[in-house]
Amino acid sequence: MNQTLLKYKLVLLPLVLVMLLDFALLAINYYVTAQIEVSAKNINIAGRQRMLSQKIIKLASLIHNSSQHQTVPLGDMDKLAKAVALFDETLNAFSEGGTATAASGEVIFIDKLVDEDARERLFDAQYIWRPLHEELSYFLSSQAVSASFSHQMMKDLAKHDEELLSLMNELTISLEEEAKAETFFLRSIQTATVLLIFVCFCIATIRLIRREDYYDNLMEKTTDIVIGVDVKTALTTFVSGSVVELLGFNQQHYLLKPASLFFVKESKAVFSEILEAVDKTGRLPTSRCEVRLLKSDDSILVADIVMQTALSENGKNVEVTAAIRDISERKAAEAILIEQAHKDELTGLPNRIVFYELAEHALSIAQRNKTRLAILYIDLDQFKPINDTYGHGVGDTVLQTTANRIAACIRKSDSVFRIGGDEFIVLLEGQVDDEGVRSLAENIIQSVSNSIMVNGDSCQIGASIGVAFYPDDGADIDVLTQKADKAMYTVKHSGRNNVAFAE
């Protein structure tokens, strides 16, 4: 999981930022809504103050005129008292913050005004209102008010009415301007946040496209074939573009078709078993194997396939994803190395390694069939002087000719090996008898002893041969080889160019 997050961090970081900005935008919207409600409430209350100031003048004037006729309605006195109390309560709430009564009768909380222009208007209004409030409070609370006091109060109200109304208008306008400025600021933040979200989304999209292009280019440039196969349906869900160069078919030849189209018969069965195992157990029985692929020209491509399981793009199905690499050249090189490891470079004959492998196999057959087996150990006579006199080039030619002569003397069922220097071994299987072996050895000696012309020079060599039989002389290849070698040295010490059997 951590590796996946690190792998896609350049894409995920802008997306995470987008998510955080979305949350921030949501919070800003809530805050803007709340501020608009507060501003609307303040503006509404400030507008009501204008109406209350006019109502107070109107009611006070009505009561004053009525008092002169000594018929003051009690209802008007109550209305005036409520208007005065509400105006004063609201003015104090704007100034210090606190509760006030809304037009609906609901008690609401008003925040203290902090805008300097609004507070200046509020201060001027309070300065005018305080003496008027005192006069009105006395007027409302006294049982009998002198005509001169009532007249003076009305004079003061008339004097400051326009000024107080103007200040309430200015307060309302100031609150409206403050609300506009704050709303504009918040809207600007909203706009900037939306732009940042858009930029982050664009960055994430560009990085994702760039990443996809990067991996697409890798897929196109790699010589490996990358495939995805649905475990349930065995259909190919993905194949890289390199399939065209390697197999000659285009991608559409394989997409949403059975994955068996890639393989020859034997490899189809192997890959099908792998898919079945993953479907049953959820695990790969092997993560790597060798397969053979069918090319468009019907030739075979030997490949190494490395597999792993993964979820499909929709996250629902299990797939086997595989990287297929052409190993034809490697296999050819390995075959050459194997051949070189098992063949004598000079003569083309099998070497000592092959001798022991074939001899062990022949021995097991002889033991099972209760037949004989013979080993002829051949050492060339007078070969060293040819090397010393004519050089190794001539000596190599003599060895090549001698190898061919020995091979020409034996049956197709028999084998000849060069085991080093001027030493050879002949392995005889099947019908083996003493006289037949002796006759063959003498034929080899006769053939090898014929002169060999190299660059106009006549080269004369011979051969000393030792023979050992299974089961007469031993039941082990090493033992038989040693006894044949010992018999050959017996010939060397008794005149050479002859054959001797192990004792």
Note every long-range contact of 272-275, with CB atoms under 8 Å and residues 24 or more positions apart, other chains counting.
272/234, 274/307, 274/320, 275/229, 275/231, 275/234, 275/320
Residue 105 has a pLDDT of 76
- How many Å separate Cα 483 from the centre of its chain? 66
Residue 71 has a pLDDT of 58
Q: Does 145 have pLDDT greater than 80?
A: no
- The single-letter DSSP state of residue 145 is -
CATH topology of domain 2-200: Four Helix Bundle (Hemerythrin (Met), subunit A) (1.20.120)
Residue 108 has a pLDDT of 82
Rounded to two decimals, the pTM is 0.47
Q: What are the structure tokens assigned to 490, written together?
A: 């017996």
Q: CATH number of the domain at 343-501, please?
A: 3.30.70.270
**Residue 404 confidence class, pLDDT cut points 50, 70, 90:** very high
3-state secondary structure of 181: helix
Catalytic site positions: 422
Q: Where are the domains of the chain?
A: 2-200, 223-328, 343-501
Listed in order, strand segments (DSSP E) in 338-456 are 373-381, 415-420, 423-428, 452-454
Q: Does 181 have pLDDT greater than 60?
A: yes
Q: What are the structure tokens assigned to 230, written together?
A: 């649905």
**Residue 160 confidence class, pLDDT cut points 50, 70, 90:** confident
**Residue 216 confidence class, pLDDT cut points 50, 70, 90:** low
Task: Specify the amino acid at residue 487.
Answer: A
Task: Specify the amino acid at residue 374.
Answer: A
d(CA 300, CA 455) in angstroms, rounded, equals: 46
**Residue 262 confidence class, pLDDT cut points 50, 70, 90:** very high
- For the segment 337-388, what is each residue's pLDDT rounded down to a tens digit? 777 778 898 999 999 999 999 999 999 999 999 999 999 999 999 999 998 8
- Cβ distance 292 to 303 under 8 Å? yes
* Strands 499-501 and 462-470, sheet pairing: parallel
Place of tokens 């039941």: 475
Residue 73 has a pLDDT of 62
Q: What are the structure tokens assigned to 98, written together?
A: 């606190």
Of 374 and 142, the structure prediction assigns the larger pLDDT to 374
Q: Does 212 have pLDDT greater than 70?
A: no
d(CA 328, CA 304) in angstroms, rounded, equals: 9
CATH topology of domain 223-328: Beta-Lactamase (3.30.450)
3-state secondary structure of 294: strand
d(CA 471, CA 39) in angstroms, rounded, equals: 117
Residue 438 has a pLDDT of 94
Closest CA to 63 of 46, 78, 48: 78
- Cβ distance 418 to 363 under 8 Å? no
- Would you mind telling me the total number of residues written for the chain in this entry? 503
- How many Å separate Cα 422 from the centre of its chain? 62
- How many Å separate Cα 216 from the centre of its chain? 13
**Average pLDDT of the residues of the chain:** 84
Backbone region of residue 476 per phi and psi (left: phi > 0; alpha: psi in -120 to 50; beta: other values): beta
